[in-house]
Chain A
Amino acid sequence: AQSVTQPDIHITVSEGASLELRCNYSYGATPYLFWYVQSPGQGLQLLLKYFSGDTLVQGIKGFEAEFKRSQSSFNLRKPSVHWSDAAEYFCAVGAGYGNKLVFGAGTILRVKS
Chain B
Amino acid sequence: GAGVSQSPSNKVTEKGKDVELRCDPISGHTALYWYRQSLGQGLEFLIYFQGNSAPDKSGLPSDRFSAERTGGSVSTLTIQRTQQEDSAVYLCASSVDGYNSPLHFGNGTRLTVT
A interacts with B: yes
Using CB atoms and an 8 Å cutoff, list the residues of chain A in contact with chain B: 32, 34, 36, 41-46, 49, 51, 90, 92, 94-106
Which of B60-68, B75-83, B91-99 lies on the face that meets chain A? B91-99
For the complex, give the distance between the alpha carbons of A28 and B4 in Å: 32
Contacts of A41 in B (CB 8 A): 107
**Contacting pair A101 B99 (CB below 8 A):** no
- Tell me what chain B mostly uses at the interface: helix, strand, loop, or mixed: strand
How long is the Cα–Cα vector from A41 to B6 in the complex, in angstroms?
13
Contact present for A99 and B105 (CB under 8 Å) = no
The bracket for how many chain B residues form the interface is 20 to 34
Closest-CB distance, A74 to chain B (whole angstroms): 15
Asked whether A43 and B42 contact (CB < 8 A) given A32-B100, A99-B98, the answer is no
**B25 within 8 Å of A (CB atoms):** no
In contact, B42 and A46 (Cβ under 8 angstroms): no
- Given A32-B100, A96-B99, list of 17 further CB < 8 A pairs? A36-B105, A41-B107, A43-B4, A43-B106, A51-B100, A90-B42, A90-B43, A95-B100, A96-B100, A98-B48, A98-B55, A98-B99, A99-B99, A100-B45, A100-B48, A100-B56, A103-B42
Residue of B with least CB distance to A48: B102
Which residue of A45, A90, A99, A105 is within 8 Å of B100 (Cβ)? A99
- Chain B residues engaging chain A, CB cutoff 8 angstroms: 4, 31, 33, 35, 41-43, 45, 48, 50, 55-56, 91, 93, 95, 98-108
**Contact yes or no, B41 A101, CB < 8 A:** no
27 A-B Cβ contacts within 8 A? A36-B105, A42-B107, A43-B4, A43-B91, A43-B93, A43-B106, A44-B43, A44-B103, A46-B103, A51-B100, A94-B100, A95-B100, A96-B100, A98-B48, A98-B55, A98-B98, A98-B99, A99-B31, A99-B95, A99-B98, A99-B99, A99-B100, A99-B103, A101-B43, A102-B45, A103-B42, A103-B43
Docked CA distance A72–B63 (Å): 36
